[in-house]
Chains A and B, each alone.
Chain A
Amino acid sequence: MDQAVATAVGVLFSISTLVLLALGLAIIFGMMRVLNLAQGEFLTLGAYTVLIATSHGLSIWAGILLAPFVVGSIGVILERSIIRFLYGRPLDTMLATWGLSLALVGVMTLVMGPTTEGIATPLGSFEVGRYGVSYYRLVVIAISAGAALATYLALRHTRAGLIARATMQSPHLVAVSGVEPQLVYMATFGAGAALAGLAGSVMAPLTGVVPTMGLAFIAKIFITVMVGGSTVLVGTVSSAGVLGLVESAVSYASTPIYGQVAMLALAMVLLRLLPNGMSGLFRGGL
């Protein structure tokens, strides 16, 4: 029984971190067809926000609250200065954001140094029989669920969400009705960056902070978003569910490395079977 509870928390944790990590890119890719390869560095920037906040005497929670705003602003700046010139050229966007990713890693190394900085994991743990479960893991699960729910509500039930969805379908119509599509793109990219910043800040106390930390997650994020397909929420959550389950199951049975290999193999098979990703399985939805 204790083992079942501990394992369930473990699996739920991997799925929800996957959702949280992928959500930002899912929005940028799903709504704008821009595959942002610098998404991993946005995570890292979020993590550094927490690190800098805590070293200035703020609490970890304040850092996590701050991170989406900091990274969101950086995202908006980059969108205005680089990305906006490349709309409609998906491969060029990938190349440019890749260059951005390399340069960001370089600059962060220059400014923050190449060493890993640790942030102590807050809150401690409780025991389930022989197994320890950390409270922070539960908090992460809650934050992921909250972020997914907030995204859903924002897209479905707010005027901004409606405009955003309309812009993605027909920018001309939106422009005709008096809204500047450029503004919508900027806001969407900023929102995606902000979510990445949130994810990075949440992961920081678990992994340690180093300029190259984004690399550890970026493969997972891409696979999740690709397998998820075009619908932002349904696709991402269902693909994170399937992939996260397989990854953690195989990791428990063997090693985390085989877990990652299994995840990639499954993703390839899914892409072959479902060219539109998991979204192809659902009609409509977000």
Chain B
Amino acid sequence: MKRGELIGWTAAAVVLAGLPQLLSLFQTVQLTVFVIFAMLALSLDFLWGIAGILSFGQAALFGIGGYVYGIVGIALGTTPLGLIAGMLGPAVVAALIGYVAFYGRVGSMYLAVVTLTLTLILYQVMGSTADPKYAIGDARLGGYNGMTNIPSLSLAGRGGPPLGPVEYFYVVGGLLFLALIFCVTLSRASFGRILQGIRENESRMELLGYDVRWRKLLAFVISAALAGLAGALFASWGNFINPEVFSLPQAAVVVIWVLVGGRGTLWGAILGTVVVQYLTSRVGEVGAIYTTIVLGSILVAIVLLFRRGLAPALMDGVARVVRRRSGGVAAGR
């Protein structure tokens, strides 16, 4: 790792560690959920930006992670196990879907459609589990109500005291930090470079003798586990999860986070999440309807005007202005 980059990582870690000292309790709690969403966005950017596979079902995998965490947390009473199960559950679902999609050699559009369909079906299925018979142990799925009374994460073992809001922020922030390091490292390793090769030209990679199928499958499973982790952390954060996580706007907003941040940058997904969430909560104060109109229009506008994402486009613009200011240096390029 180069020196400057090390400084970057350290700076990020210091800021992360310092934030709760500067912020009020409520702001810390609110920031925690932004960090959780950022992890979800990171999971999509790894899959889409690095491997070039577009999944519309990241929010659904996030939701599955949340539900699995809730079920394990309530039925077994151990929350760290719930966190692990919350990663495994979506990973298994992704493995099944990915197997059909990648080994069936259906086109890239099919995965997008199948994951979208999964989202819609889960929305309806989970919405109709209100009957008490839909329960695993003490954990009732709750239908439209969702699952309530999901235990907060506790590292002290079964029945131990749950983490306080600040401690929880550190756990979530630390996990996001680790996840980002993991994704960056992986994308630079040979596995990640082959994924990028697949993204650029799949048949060439195949002709070069790489088996693209299991690599795409593995990328999808890793991304699903990360989305699931975020979902589990979300369920622990609010002690609550309901079928809204499977709604279409929820699925769309994940794609928007990544698009705004710029595909393939990984860090950009985090930035995009924070910016979009902050803006939508502001617009949401005016009225919920405007949020969907604004989000929808952003999506159309980005696709039509900024193919590489909003943040890279902005940065290019800034760079251009800076270059022009510094007077003719760019001319030699």
Q: State yes or no: do A and B touch (Cβ within 8 Å).
A: yes
- Which residues does A use to contact B, with CB under 8 Å? 35, 37, 82, 85-86, 90-92, 94-96, 98-107, 109-110, 114, 215, 218-219, 222-223, 226, 255, 257, 260-261, 264, 267-269, 271-273, 275
Given A218-B120, A271-B100, A275-B104, answer yes or no on A35-B125 (Cβ-Cβ < 8 Å).
no
Contacts of B125 in A (CB 8 A): 257, 260-261
Can you offer 8 A-B residue contacts whose CB atoms are under 8 A? A85-B304, A90-B108, A90-B109, A94-B54, A101-B248, A102-B293, A103-B297, A105-B292
* Closest partner residue, chain A, to B103 (CB atom): A272
Contacting pair B117 A223 (CB below 8 A):
yes
**Nearest CB on A from B304, distance (A):** 6
**Residue from A35, A86, A102 having most chain B Cβ neighbours under 10 A:** A102
Interface majority SS (helix, strand, loop, mixed), chain B = helix
Chain B residues with CB under 8 Å of A85's CB are 304
In the assembled complex, the Cα of A204 lies from the Cα of B57 at a distance in Å of 29
**Shortest CB–CB separation between residue A91 and chain B, in angstroms?**
5
Interface of A: prevailing SS: helix
A91 touches B108 (CB 8 A): yes
Contact B304 A222 (CB under 8 A): no
Q: Do A102 and B124 form a contact, CB below 8 Å, given A95-B299, A222-B116?
A: no
How far is it, in angstroms, between the C-alpha of A35 and the C-alpha of B128 when the chains are bound? 29
Q: Taking the complex as formed, is B329 at the interface, i.e. its CB lies under 8 A from any CB of chain A? A: no
Least distance between B288 CB and chain A CB atoms (Å): 9
Q: Is the CB of B114 within 8 A of A219?
A: no
Which A-B residue pairs are the 6 nearest by beta carbons? A99-B299, A103-B296, A102-B296, A106-B293, A219-B120, A106-B292
Q: Kindly list chain A residues whose C-beta atoms are within 8 Å of the C-beta of B248.
A: 101-102, 215
B112 at the interface (CB under 8 A from A): yes
CB within 8 Å for A268 and B106 given contacts A102-B299, A110-B289, A222-B117: no
Given A219-B120, A260-B125, A272-B104 in contact, is the A103-B300 Cβ separation under 8 Å? yes
Q: A98-B56, A102-B293 are in contact. List 15 more A-B contacts (CB 8 A).
A: A96-B300, A102-B252, A103-B292, A103-B293, A105-B292, A215-B120, A219-B120, A255-B128, A261-B121, A264-B117, A267-B117, A268-B97, A268-B114, A271-B110, A272-B99
Q: Are B121 and A219 in contact, CB atoms less than 8 angstroms apart?
A: yes
Q: Mark B172-195, 1 if CB is under 8 A from A, else 0.
A: 000000000000000000000000
